[in-house]
Structure 1
Amino acid sequence: MDLIKEINDKYLALEAEVDQKLEKVQAEELKLEQQNEKLAETSTTAVPRVLSYEEALLRNTNTLKALEIAKARLRSRSTYSPVEKLLQKALQNYRRELESLEEVGDKREEKGNPHEEEDNLYDLVMQNVIEAKKQQTTDL
């Protein structure tokens, strides 16, 4: 019987140690939960950090640079006009047509009929204008 009593005492002692360790773990878990709650409360009600003079100066300089860049981008976008591009295309087409007319006119002068080309010049210019308008409407 003494043997059984010794075994029971031994296991009771071990059980008491396990219970004490379990209580410590539960107490630490409770502390951790409370700390997490405090951190959550302080993070939502965080006080804004006061910057030093140098930090504020650096922040303000960076803000001004960013604003200047944005201003330049807006300025460049506002000055671009698709009408200018269309006018450039029309001008190029007109010049090409004039060059081709000059070549045709030179050939006709050689044949002896230059006045007919001058009469058709107005019609060709108007035709170029109409084509440019058509391109403008298709590009948009």
Structure 2
Amino acid sequence: MDLIKEINEKYQALEAEIDKKLEKVQAEEQKLERQQERIAEKSTAVQSPKVLSYEEALQRNANTLKSLEIAKARLRSRSTYSPVEKLLQRALENYKRELESLNKQSREDFKQDEKGEDNLIMQSVLDANCIRKKTGESHRN
């Protein structure tokens, strides 16, 4: 009895696995069919263009020409020389020069400060030596 039960359970498990795989295949088939339907709808829509009346065609063409002229004017205005751009370029160059001179000045000031600190240290050492000599002389006297 146990043997028959085991065989039944084994085949039930295999059957359930096959059912799951079959469901996946059916879902993929449905998905593929929907995609094919969409492609067919798009191709039929492309194949049958709307026939415009003469007035509608004139209006569409006029709008197209108008939008093309606007685009052409925008491109022309962007490609022409603008004095404002030159002024901005000069201001940028002046700013860069001023920034460089400030950086150079600050570097020179820093170097002078370092030299000044070195001089102060040397002066302090010399002053300390003088004080030692004077105090040493006063102690000897």
Check whether TM > 0.5: no
TM-score range, shorter chain: 0.3 to 0.5
